């Protein structure tokens, strides 16, 4: 299959990227990052989450972040929404898309998301109905689609079940997440082919963590399997607050640079993005996992042979 | 092309991995790392270098390292050899293979290797003749094959010229090196296909640095192009002492884990290798770039669907 010539990057740095930071990240700091992110030309940003502040205190300021973040024509703003209560909050804000989520593995739902799979899907369906009625687009996140820290390998059928439920709920896109960075390029292509075979009309996205170093290899495999939408986080910020040993999302700048060098367009202004990464390193006072800021963009025309 | 079911990893940690370390690494420390490396079952180890100690003081103890390092049946020990003088030293030691090297870009040869391409190739040819007469196998390293920090893009023809010279010298294998981590998966497959097309009998290896995060994506692309030999460094130790902004080699453990998860055999004992990485982190007193030690090997049977 020829690789897509254009890839959509969903920047999740101010959501997945910082929800597990140990110290509270201020609203001003989030807005500062979002200034750079919007200026860099992303078409999609998952800016925040409406998970209950009791569970993810870092996202308690979701309303304020959405009210004050910069906007640009053509930019779609997204937020994570776990249930009806979160959807009620989301509908009072200016967003385009609500990302629902449920794990493909029962243990992850029970231990980390505080409800069994059936209850999670029921809550999602109720929230979905409300979101669609309110004019939102929906995307369905399949947590632990490529492996569960408690159960290990997750059967394709378990992923298929969640994807099927999302399709019935009216999700415009389904996002397969390797929550704790357990997958590999062969498993990526196998699962993508399986799900695309079962749901030929589903638009698929992929969400990788670089926990074991294979993040961009998994992106390559996803691209080769025809997927054109990837979640990334500037600087490689990230880690799931509920997942043991989860580490950062794949770094936006390293992903964009690799794709650009391959001649694949993302529409993102890399120098502007790197200013945002530098800002993030100041805010979090440490060198982040993304490598491009320190290595530098190769000084040649990207994408040329 | 079906990916190879077996991959050979050449461990270069005690050579490329530490030649740019700021403080002198003692012989005992190198031997300690080599103990773990040999115990982990590598079939090939580039243990040291016969570059003049004036240029790379870190390798001044090459003879002692080779005399004292552990051996195992089936293990091939290799060393970097720049010229006749280095080959004289190499031939007095117990090694199987001498790795010659020359950059594909003129500026890199002149600025960093202190001789123009023609002089480098002439020195290599003299050393090759001596090495073959002494019973050594030769491998030819093409430095900056995927990009030069001074010249930028390196034409395929420049790489082809060096590979052709190595074939004439009688090299059993040619190693294409992305010395400063500038390449991307598309460029990898294009160069490999070009060189394999021009030299159908050449055995090709690849040497990547993870400078911009795409190291394992480049391995995946190389594997997909049919290459079955890769240089890696335990912990992702590394960096070229002469190359601006060069950072670590791709980490052996992350590479081996990705391949194992894909069902590709390397013959390396991952838990034993991780003991060696832990030892390296103690020796160098810092967290190294390789991620598997801290993330842990996924607790399932590798390679299964």
SS (H, E, C) chain A: CCCCCECEEEECCCCCCCCCCCCCCCHHHHHHHHHHHHHCCCCEEEEEECCCCCCCHHHCCHHHHHHHCCCCCCCEEEEECCCHHHHHHHHCCCCCEEEEEEECCHHHHHHHCCCCHHHHHHHHHHHHHHHHHCCCEEEEEEECCCCECCCECCCHHHHHHHHHHHHHHCCCEEEEEECCCCCCHHHHHHHHHHHHHHCCCCCEEEEEECCCCCHHHHHHHHHHCCCCEEEEEHHHCCCCCCCCCCCCECEHHHHHHHHHHCCCECCCCHHHHHHHHHHHHHHHCCCCCCCHHHHCCCCCCCCCC
Helix (H, G, I), strand (E, B) or coil at B141: strand
Catalytic residue among A148, A171, A240, A279: A240
Output the pLDDT for position B74. Answer: 94
Measure CB to CB from residue A152 to each of B183, B294, B299 and give the nearest one.
Answer: B299
* Nearest-angstrom CA–CA distance, B74 and B56: 29
Which are the catalytic amino acids of B? 240
Which tokens in the block code for residue A82?
A: 């776990």
Which tokens in the block code for residue A84?
A: 């009806």
Across residues B238-248, what is the average pLDDT? 64
Q: pTM of the prediction?
A: 0.96
Phi, psi of B103 (to 5 degrees): -80, 150
A240 to chain B, closest Cα gap in Å: 13
- Looking at beta carbons, which residues of chain B come within 8 Å of A187? 261-262, 305
pLDDT digits (tens, 9 = 90+) for B73-129: 999 999 999 999 999 999 999 999 999 999 999 999 999 888 899 999 999 999 999
- Looking at beta carbons, which residues of chain B come within 8 Å of A290? 213
CB contact under 8 A, A184 and B247: no
A106 to chain B, closest Cα gap in Å: 17
Burial B185-219 (b: 16+ CB within 10 A, else e): bbbbbbbbeebeeebeebebbbbbbbbbbbbbbbb
Q: Nearest Cα to A255, choosing from A219, A225, A293, A295? A: A219
Output the pLDDT for position B22. Answer: 86
Task: Quickly tell me which residue has 């997204």 as its tokens.
Answer: A78
Output the pLDDT for position A112. Answer: 86
Across residues B217-239, what is the average pLDDT? 95
Determine which helix (DSSP H) or strand (DSSP E) holds B99, and give its type and residue range. strand B97-103
A212 to chain B, closest Cα gap in Å: 5
Q: Which of residues 137 through 196 in chain B touch A, CB cutoff 8 A? A: 147, 152-153, 181-187, 190
CB contact under 8 A, A152 and B295: no
Q: How far, CA to CA in Å, does B302 sit from each of A145, A179, B164, B260?
A: 17, 18, 39, 6
Output the pLDDT for position B113. Answer: 83
Q: Per CATH, the architecture of A8-295 is what? A: Alpha-Beta Barrel (3.20)
Output the pLDDT for position A113. Answer: 83
Output the pLDDT for position A291. Answer: 92
Q: Is B291 on the interface with A (CB under 8 A)?
A: yes
Output the pLDDT for position A3. Answer: 86
- Are the CB atoms for B78 and B94 separated by under 8 Å? no
* Nearest-angstrom CA–CA distance, B219 and A217: 8
Q: Identify the band that residue B298 occupies on the pLDDT scale cut at 50, 70 and 90.
A: confident
How many cross-chain Cβ pairs, A to B, lie less than 8 Å apart? 121
Across residues B213-242, what is the average pLDDT? 91
* pLDDT, mean over chain B: 94
**Which one is predicted more confidently, A19 or B64?**
B64
Q: Which of residues 237 through 276 in chain B touch A, CB cutoff 8 A? A: 245, 247, 251, 254-255, 257-258, 261-263
DSSP code of B279? H
User: Alpha-carbon torsion A160, A170, A225, B214, what sign?
Assistant: negative
Task: Quickly tell me which residue has 């299964």 as its tokens.
Answer: B304
* Nearest-angstrom CA–CA distance, B207 and B204: 10
- Are the CB atoms for B298 and A182 separated by under 8 Å? yes
Q: Which residues have C-beta within 8 Å of that of residue B89, sequence separation ≥ 6? A: B50, B62, B63
Output the pLDDT for position B266. Answer: 97
Q: Nearest Cα to A145, choosing from A83, A208, A218? A: A208
Longest Cα pair distance anywhere in chain B, in angstroms? 52
- Looking at beta carbons, which residues of chain B come within 8 Å of A215? 213
Measure CB to CB from residue B221 to each of A187, A220, A257 and give the nearest one.
Answer: A220
For residue B8, the cross-strand partners are B229
DSSP code of B51? S
For residue A76, the cross-strand partners are A44
Across residues B229-241, what is the average pLDDT? 87
B214 to chain A, closest Cα gap in Å: 6
| Closest chain B residue by Cα to residue A258 | B184
B143 to chain A, closest Cα gap in Å: 17
Q: What is the dihedral of CA A124, A126, A130, A133, to 10 degrees?
A: 100
| Closest chain B residue by Cα to residue A299 | B152
Angle, nearest 10°, between helix axes A215-224 and B215-224?
40
Output the pLDDT for position B301. Answer: 73
| Closest chain A residue by Cα to residue B182 | A298
Across residues B39-48, what is the average pLDDT? 98
Q: What are the boundaries of each domain within chain B?
A: 8-295
pLDDT digits (tens, 9 = 90+) for B170-180: 999 999 999 98
Q: Which residues have C-beta within 8 Å of that of residue A115, sequence separation ≥ 6? A: A109, A123
Q: Is A290 on the interface with B (CB under 8 A)?
A: yes
Burial A215-252 (b: 16+ CB within 10 A, else e): bbbbbbbbbbbebbbbbbbbbbbbbbebbeebbbbbbb
Q: Identify the band that residue B241 occupies on the pLDDT scale cut at 50, 70 and 90.
A: low
| Closest chain B residue by Cα to residue A185 | B262
Measure CB to CB from residue B214 to each of A181, A258, A263 and give the nearest one.
Answer: A258
pLDDT in tens, chain A (305 residues): 678 899 999 999 999 999 888 899 999 999 999 999 999 999 999 999 999 999 999 999 999 999 999 999 999 999 999 999 999 999 999 999 999 999 999 999 999 888 899 999 999 999 999 999 999 999 999 999 999 989 999 999 999 999 999 999 999 999 999 998 999 999 999 999 999 999 999 999 999 999 999 999 999 999 999 999 999 999 999 865 555 555 789 999 999 999 999 999 999 999 999 999 999 999 999 889 999 998 999 888 776 54
| DSSP code per residue over B208-241 | EB-TTS-HHHHHHHHHHTT--EEEEBGGG----T
């Amino acid at each position: 299959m020829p690789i897509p010539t254009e890839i959509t990057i969903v920047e999740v740095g101010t959501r997945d990227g910082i929800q597990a930071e140990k110290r509270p990240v201020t609203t001003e700091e989030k807005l500062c990052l979002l200034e750079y992110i919007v200026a860099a030309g992303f078409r999609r940003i998952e800016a925040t989450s409406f998970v209950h502040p009791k569970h993810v205190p870092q996202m308690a300021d979701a309303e304020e972040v959405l009210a004050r973040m910069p906007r640009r024509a053509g930019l779609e703003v997204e937020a994570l929404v776990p249930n009806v209560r979160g959807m009620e909050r989301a509908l009072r804000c200016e967003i385009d898309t609500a990302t629902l989520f449920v794990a493909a593995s029962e243990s992850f739902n029970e231990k980390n998301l505080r409800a069994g799979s059936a209850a999670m899907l029921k809550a999602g369906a109720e929230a979905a109905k409300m979101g669609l009625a309110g004019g939102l687009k929906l995307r369905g996140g399949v947590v632990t689609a490529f492996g569960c820290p408690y159960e290990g390998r997750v059967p394709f059928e378990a992923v298929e079940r969640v994807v099927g439920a999302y399709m019935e709920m009216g999700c415009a896109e389904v996002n397969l997440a390797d929550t704790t960075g357990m997958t590999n390029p062969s498993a990526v292509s196998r699962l993508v082919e399986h799900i695309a075979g079962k749901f030929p009309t589903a638009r698929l996205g992929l969400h990788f963590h670089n926990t074991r170093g294979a993040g961009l290899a998994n992106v390559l495999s996803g691209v080769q399997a025809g997927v054109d939408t990837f979640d990334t986080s500037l600087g490689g910020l990230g880690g799931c607050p509920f997942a043991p040993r989860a580490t950062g999302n794949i770094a936006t700048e390293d992903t964009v640079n690799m794709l650009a060098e391959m001649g694949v367009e993302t529409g993102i202004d890399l120098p502007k993005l790197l200013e945002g990464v530098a800002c993030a390193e100041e805010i979090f006072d440490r060198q982040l996992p993304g490598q491009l800021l320190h290595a530098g963009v190769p000084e040649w025309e990207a994408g040329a042979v």
